[in-house]
Every structure is written in structure tokens, then in C-alpha cells.
Amino acid sequence: MDAGPWGGGRSWPALEDVEFLTAHFEGDISDIPDARLAASQSLDTLICRDPPTSPISHGDILVVVTELGANAVQYAPGPFTLRLRRTFDGVHVTVADTNPTPPTPRRCDPARGAGGIGWHLIQALADQVDVVRKPDGKDIHAFLPW
């Protein structure tokens, strides 16, 4: 934490480790683009304060948000929560949903229709992905460079 302007033991949080978005969604299919839009607007604000080191960071984060939101809507009944947090070396994306079962990678088969690529995209774009199971669902954490 950085010292605040008024002293007295108070402090401002450093830019790192600041949560800059918490958004709750009902779990409807229309929530997928809404989650992406909320993330995009938050990242646009972050860009003004702290530009990314790579021009593709913004887009990569939006792909991960979209895929995690789509997975939450498709595989977990009920609401989901999206959180974005700036960390010392990137952006931490968390999606909390109501299904405690971890995602299972599956083979993408274009002959069977869409699907099967999202989890692979998330794994490829993120530096680290963790799934934390909870009694009422799970949190999926993706850490991406900024």
C-alpha cells in the first residue's frame, strides 16, 4: 500500500491488487455480451491510468471473459459473477458460478457443431488458470498479462 495524502496511518491501495470491476449476472445468454462490454469498459478506464505492455492484452482478456461467461451460462444453472483485478504483472479475471464441477477439456469437432474450443482458448491466452471448487459452485481464476 502507498501512503495516503493525509498521513495518520491511512493509506491508498497501490494500483496493483485493485479490483476494478465486480459485476453480477443472472445467467441468461444475453449476459455473455453484457459481461464482455462491462469488462471492455473497465479495461478502457484502466488503459488511461496504466497502459498495457502489449497491444493484444485488451483483446485477450475480453476473449477469456467471453469464454468464461459462456461456460457459466451453458454449464452452470443460475447467476455468475465477474471480477477483474489489476495485479502487479497483469489482470486477474475471476468468474464465480453455481456449478462445482471443474471444466473438462473436450475435443473440438466441427462436424458436431460449435463448442469445444473455449477452455483451450482460455488455457492458451492466460499465464495461469486455477479452478477453486466451493460447496455452492466454483471460481475460475485466469491471470493474463497486461
What are the pLDDT digits (tens) for 14-72?
A: 445 567 899 999 999 999 999 999 999 999 999 998 999 999 999 999 999 999 999 99
Question: Among 27-31, 63-67, 115-119, 130-134, where is mean pLDDT lowest?
Answer: 115-119
Q: May I ask the CATH class of domain 16-103+115-145? A: alpha beta
Residue 116: all three cell numbers together: 469445444
Per-residue confidence band for 117, with pLDDT thresholds at 50, 70 and 90: confident
Measure the CA–CA gap between 54 and 145, rounded to whole angstroms.
Answer: 8
Helix (H, G, I), strand (E, B) or coil at 58: helix
Domain boundaries, the chain: 16-103+115-145
Helix (H) or strand (E) holding 22: strand 18-25
- Residue 87: predicted pLDDT: 92
